[in-house]
Amino acid sequence: MTYEYDRENIFAKIIRGEIPNDTVLETEHCLAFRDITPQAPVHILVIPKGNYVNFDHFGAAASDAEIVDFSRTIAKITKDVAVDPASGGNGYRLIANSGRDPVQEVAHMHVHILAGRPLGRMLQKT
């Protein structure tokens, strides 16, 4: 299985500092920043700094340290923005669009954290 990673994708440029971003948290292996077109009061993107196309690429090829850091980063952000249910928050949704059917626009692995309003059921019927 091969993954073609485009080093000129917009998130690669953000990681290299060529495009500004509204950073929420940076760790050794991850960057989290606010989505440019927010769909909810809280809309944060979490990306690994490594060159991974999507979630299945990341899960298969990333190191244990990268994967742990990614999960811990999401958990920390949900606490920092006070949406985690354990702290009395109203909860959040994670979305990882990967490939065509879910319409992945940016071919660099990312997870959306959405929160701050009722988000409805998981999918709309079409």
Residues carrying an active site annotation: 110
> Which x/- pattern, by CB under 6 A, does the window 100-119 give for ligand DGP?
---xxxx-------------
Length of the chain: 126
Verify binding: residue 36, ligand DGP, rule CB under 6 A: yes
Residues facing 108 on adjacent strands: none
Residue found by looking up tokens 């994967």 in the block: 67
Q: How many positions of this chain bind ligand DGP (CB under 6 A)?
A: 14
Q: Which stretch binds ligand DGP (CB under 6 A): 31-39, 51-59, 61-69, 77-85?
A: 31-39
Helix (H) or strand (E) holding 71: helix 64-80
Contact between 97 and ligand DGP per CB under 6 A: yes
Q: Residue 28 Cβ, how far from ligand DGP at the closest point, in Å?
A: 21
Can you tell me the distance from the alpha carbon of 90 to that of 81, in angstroms, rounded to the nearest whole number? 11
State how far the Cα of 87 lies from the Cα of 39, in Å rounded to an integer: 23
DSSP 95: E
Using rule CB under 6 A, residue 78 touches ligand DGP: no
Of 35-43, 51-59, 64-72, 78-86, the window that binds ligand DGP (rule: CB under 6 A) is 35-43
